[in-house]
Amino acid sequence: MSTRAPDRRPPDRGFGPELRDAVTLRGVALVTGVLLLQFGFILSYIGAFHSPTPHRIPVAVVAPPAVAGQVAEQVNALKGRPLKARTAAGAEQARQEILRREVDAAIIVEPRGGTDTLLVASAAGPALAGTATDVANRFETVRHRQVRVVDIRPPDPEDGRGLSSFYLVIGWVVGGYLAAAILGFAGGARPANGRRTVIRLGALALYAAVSGLGGAVIAGPVLGALPGHFFQVWGIGALVVFAAAASTAALQTLFGLLGIGLAILLFVVLGNPSAGGAYPVALLPPFWRAIGGWLPTGAATTAVRNTVYFAGNATAYPLWVLAGWALGGTAVALAVSALRPAAAHTQGTASARSG
């Protein structure tokens, strides 16, 4: 005679109770946050790139002294004000101003012929050089003259359209905030105390050094896209990775899981389209043009590009921006984690006294 085992399956509660258990308010809030980030991503990228328009691209004008000021005024008076001209004493001075990143192009007027020369540096962004060429052609057509374009600093042949700096920085920034987010998932978004925060930031600093090294090796010796300046590129990489990681850690310490979403908003939704990679800053709408240089992606893209192609000119400001994000993120994370246990201890003491 066989004995039938009792059925230990839980009773069927119906679809409604299971739905309430499976779809919690927390889950709905998180998915809603992801949906808003998705819409923000679409809005930010299309808003920045759907209609690139030149805005006050700085150019130098070289012409005989008698007409130099007049030519500069004509350039500044172009419809839509796409260029912002200033005079230069000669072609060599204009060339040096381009290489020092004081201007993006130079118009050299040749009074004895019908063809003028436009100097550009497409390593700073082919889209910018192309736009400057189009505007110069329109300007010279009105004056019944032609223009000859000379690219004094093109990107390396292995650098394609000069976008390697931008994509290298994107990889670094993504690695920085993902490393901080993963440590947050593994050990809690808000560290238990100040020591834990110091340990987490130390681990992120080590990660940043290795990440910066790996990116410099891949972009330089391995692929040859950004040859030379290996140690400078490594240093910039380590700085930008730690800036993204420390800032994400600070946002997590302040806001918990929501901090990761805020990091994505800053570094991806807003940072990537405003960085001057696909389209230089001078071609972006006002909002993206205003924020690009203040965010790690834009600052790092400028720092890498100017280090590799322009002898490190005009890198002080973007490096200070990156240092500000790194130091600011570190300070906020340490301060908040140090204050939180004290606040919790105070609340516990007050509860004990009231009891």
Which whole number is the average pLDDT over 101-120?
A: 90
Beta pairing class for 105-108 and 115-120: antiparallel
Closest by CA to 94, choosing from 67, 121, 61, 72, is: 61
Domain 57-154: top CATH class: alpha beta
Res. 255: pLDDT tops 70: yes
End-to-end Cα separation, the chain, in angstroms: 63
Phi first, then psi: give them for residue 110, nearest 5 degrees: -105, 100
| pLDDT band for position 348 (cuts 50, 70, 90) | very low
Q: What is the pTM of this model?
A: 0.87
Measured between alpha carbons, how far is residue 4 from residues 7, 226, 355 in Å? 9, 73, 55
pLDDT at 57: 92
pLDDT by residue (tens digit) across 35-65? 998 999 899 999 998 888 989 999 999 999 8
pLDDT at 26 over 90: no
Token pair of 197 as six digits:
């925060």
pLDDT at 127: 87
The helix (H) or strand (E) run that includes residue 136 is helix 126-142
Integer Cα distance of 35 and 52 in angstroms: 27
Mean of all residue pLDDT scores within the chain? 88
Q: How far is CA 302 from CA 197, 239, 309, 321, 332, in A?
A: 31, 14, 11, 11, 26
- Range from 34-38, 85-89, 138-142, 194-198 carrying the lowest mean pLDDT: 138-142
Domain boundaries, the chain: 57-154, 158-347
